[in-house]
Chains A and B, each alone.
Chain A
């Protein structure tokens, strides 16, 4: 999923390493070969996205896509989503929320905060794999803007 020499980096924020591994495997199976940068907690992910000064300047010029789990040990995924969408450099990054919750209110809240896609992790593994693969397909069709 490279677009005219601008490879998209997938930022995966997921505390469960098993989930992270399964997500990555399935993305690869779907034929997505982009770089995946994995974080197991919110703070380090935010540090990567916002840079050491917290301004988001660090991400200028990057092509990013965030895969976000809502249940993190140090903060909720909603906090991260909020900070991404509030930052002028990061707000155009597509965010895919991945969580075990299929609570309608939480889904609504994610979309209200600017999430682009919301995917429930089904326990049914086929469903899960399918969802991830479809996500890979999605990656191949969406235009990921350069972070300005």
Chain B
């Protein structure tokens, strides 16, 4: 019995091998096409993952990884025990959760509003003007914040000055940093993020609405019971996707908005990695690499977990 199974397994294996070979022969051009992208992915995405092993040693560039001393989890433990650990995690999570809290409901609200606008021309105008900021760079967004909120020529302070007689330096005070960061993000991406919901709303079965109208349901109730209920899968996909970035908040915006006075709240994991790694005078590679690796692993776990939860709750998932 066992012998038979083994024999069977080898013939299947053989068949699969010859299958690959005949496939290469038949589809060799497809293999040629994928070659360049594959090399790109291996070199620029997978090699750095392999390179992340410097997190486990005291890497000295002149000696290479092999010549550097292997220290195991030293850098990871040092980071967790360092005074910065708590502050960095807190700053990073506050920014991302604050963003997430707003970046889920606002696009839905906008999409619903647009969906129920009767004047199609007006709808188009609103839509187009909400997409536009998405194409502005982070540098431009931060620059615009500086221009609008500065104390010399900024319009917000001019108006504030006319009303209260004082000016507030929004861009350098710690207590405003998070609000400036998050709300400018909402301004930039609310339109863009609403596109998916707009399309999902357009796909809602009109018969549901007709039946509800006959039953005497007004727009408020139809929005709640039909529209929101129907776009729930889209909402959960969006939540899963944003869960991934909850700890890996991007470098650019925080870095560009940083100044010496708001550093206590604007220093996040990615900017800290840069600063101690390559931004400072002495290059120090292993320690920031360990921080980055930890971030990556946590991100990956978060994506898997939210995906799983969403799968069991609503049968929608990324994979």
- Are these two chains actual partners, yes or no? no
